[in-house]
Structure 1
Amino acid sequence: MVVLVTGSSGQLGQSLQFIAPNYPQIDFVFCDSKTLDITNLENCNQVFDQYKPNFCINAAAYTAVDKAESEFEKAFAINVTGVKNLAQVSKKHDTILLHISTDFVFDGSKTKPYIETDIPNPTGVYGQTKLDGEKVIQQIWEKHFIIRTSWVYSQFGNNFMKTMLRLASERDTISVVNDQIGTPTNAVDLAEILVKIILTDNRQPTTDNFGIYNFSHEGQCSWYDFAKKIFEINNISINLLPIPTTSFPTPAKRPAYSVLDKSKIKSIFGLEINNWEESLKTI
């Protein structure tokens, strides 16, 4: 079984490379933006013609939430045009497409966890381009799994956890917002879930399970709570101050509440999902 992974140099791509040796039955093909530029349809066709993948995990994305506000064309090229190209080529090759989306497709106005059928309403360019990417997949190719996730971190790439650890080595005091509520997701655990979906689906090729799924860890916290737990686990003593979002203005508006309900993915794929605090301890 051939599984093609785009965006292999990113956080999720590196996490998939980290776990790949545990799955000798899968022939992973890892492509970074140099070997596979998803915004180039001809390049996509060439790579798919060469490897003929059974599955494609699209881990390539424009994820700079604030920069997206001033780099709309770049965000659109990767998150919409690139995704459209992958959907078209996946359809041509009968390749099942697994695509990563985000809690930022929602506006954060709810006070209980979002389910897959809730109406998206992005508040910024990043969320809008990710939603548009979801839509082009749904329009072009029915054999897809769209996984919405949130607050992704790991030992790889750039993320909140690594930023906090770096800042703690440079400062005595750190201020973190405490009125945005969501759930951290360990990218290695997300990678494991994607492989589980592939292995389950490969046994059931006539599956009716295609569609949108939520995945993050269980529980919820604020960014302040997340930072506090990071420092606690790493035995770092620092003066951590909770602040409101209004004290830390950013170009892009964040959802105030973006906890995702995981009932569907747990039911369909028989998953047990760790609490976010437990998963944080594994890094």
Structure 2
Amino acid sequence: MTSPRRFVVTGLTGQVVQSLVARSSQCEDVEIVAIGRPNFDLANADTITQSIEAARPELIVSAAAYTAVDQAESNEGDAFAVNAQGPAALARIAKTLDVPIIHLSTDYVFDGTKAAPYVESDPVAPLGVYGTSKLLGEQLVASTHENHAILRTAWVYSPFGRNFVRTILRAAETRTELGVVDDQVGNPTSALDIADAILTVGRNLLGSNDLAMRGIFHLTGRGAATWAEFAEEIFRVSKMMGGPFAKINRISTSDYPTPARRPANSRLNCERIAEYHGVILPNWKISTSGVVRHLTR
């Protein structure tokens, strides 16, 4: 029996790393090694090199990030250190060790003005500091190490960490009505599904030198929804399970001002990752139902 391939993942508490740990327990060919603070810090290049070398990766998954979108507007230095310089350092050590790197990015690299779902080659135009820092991270990873796969995803939720599903279910425990934005559309994406995709893409990168398997790929759940539609589906399943629910009042973005602007259209076209990696994520309603059922049991 061959030894499992070692995927070293950055972060300890993020949705994707926790999902990878959960999923890897069901497969024998991949070992997930998660590294994080205090020994590993994306804002400290010395800890990056030391931690990665000590973990002896066969593949690196760059999952940790500065994800506080609104706080990034007033904390630009930290956002760029973690989302741009940190991944660049990871790419350098991946190149030195001659191992592939999978880097997670975001729909926020686009401005949301396109009428159709975005493809990988569409012009990028981030609206704020978070998206700009993530875009620079993509560019630095790609220019540093050619053996990379950059996975842009969107509207991530899971049974773990802070996310829209958990936040809105908690809010419904004390409120009977909630106002939710209905003029932003995207693809809700389960971190558990992202983890499955990372395992597949990682195996492909280790098993083939095909250049078509490298580069930028979009990775989201199938189907689209507004935040209000997403919330209504969460509450439909929760109510059916005897969990909390509330009435959704549909509001506009202008009714809920935030420091950072959000793309009105966050939909991503995922045909490229289906063609070259064989990855097609489930419809968002199926995965949402699974997560809500888990949380309300």
TM-score of the pair, normalised by structure 2: 0.92
Contact 1:104 1:126 (C-alpha < 8 Å) held by counterparts: yes
Deviation at 1:207, TM superposition (A): 4.6
Deviation at 1:111, TM superposition (A): 0.8
Contact 1:182 1:222 (C-alpha < 8 Å) held by counterparts: yes
Contact 2:59 2:99 (C-alpha < 8 Å) held by counterparts: yes
Between stretches 28-37 and 181-190, larger displacement belongs to 28-37
Between stretches 114-123 and 42-51, larger displacement belongs to 42-51
Contact 1:39 1:85 (C-alpha < 8 Å) held by counterparts: no
SS in structure 1 opposite 2:173? Answer: helix
Deviations 1:239-282 (A, max 9, x none): 21000101000000000001000100011112332111111111
Contact 1:6 1:33 (C-alpha < 8 Å) held by counterparts: no
Deviations 1:43-92 (A, max 9, x none): 12212322321100011100011111011111111001111111111111
C-alpha separation in 2, matches of 1:277 and 1:137: 33
Specify which of 258, 263, 266 is matched with residue 274 of structure 2. 266
Q: Tell me the C-alpha RMSD between the 2 structures.
A: 1.2
SS in structure 1 opposite 2:172? Answer: helix
**Residue 65 of structure 2 is aligned to residue 61 of structure 1:** yes
Deviation at 1:208, TM superposition (A): 3.8
Contact 1:152 1:186 (C-alpha < 8 Å) held by counterparts: yes
**Residue 187 of structure 2 is aligned to residue 183 of structure 1:** yes
SS in structure 2 opposite 1:170? Answer: coil
- Residue 74 of structure 1: aligned partner: 78
Trace 1:13-92 onto structure 2 (pairs within 5 A). Answer: 13-92=17-96
Deviation at 1:35, TM superposition (A): 2.7
Specify which of 116, 125, 136 is matched with residue 132 of structure 1. 136
Contact 2:20 2:32 (C-alpha < 8 Å) held by counterparts: no
Between stretches 134-143 and 236-245, larger displacement belongs to 236-245
- Residue 251 of structure 1: aligned partner: 259
Specify which of 197, 221, 224 is matched with residue 193 of structure 1. 197
Amino acid at match of 2:38: K
C-alpha separation in 2, matches of 1:208 and 1:240: 44
C-alpha separation in 2, matches of 1:18 and 1:150: 21
Deviation at 1:237, TM superposition (A): 4.1
Tell me how many residue pairs correspond in the alignment.
283
Contact 1:104 1:254 (C-alpha < 8 Å) held by counterparts: yes
C-alpha separation in 1, matches of 2:212 and 2:116: 28
Amino acid at match of 1:148: R
TM-score of the pair, normalised by structure 1: 0.97
C-alpha separation in 2, matches of 1:198 and 1:121: 29
C-alpha separation in 2, matches of 1:3 and 1:171: 42
SS in structure 1 opposite 2:93? Answer: helix
Between stretches 81-90 and 118-127, larger displacement belongs to 81-90
Percent identity for Structure 1 against Structure 2: 38
Structure 2 unmatched runs, 5+: 292-297
4+ residue segments displaced more than 3 Å: 205-208
Structure 1 unmatched runs, 5+: none
Between stretches 263-272 and 126-135, larger displacement belongs to 263-272
Deviations 1:140-191 (A, max 9, x none): 1111100000000000000001110010001111000000010100000000
- Residue 167 of structure 1: aligned partner: 171
C-alpha separation in 1, matches of 2:249 and 2:212: 48
Contact 2:100 2:205 (C-alpha < 8 Å) held by counterparts: no
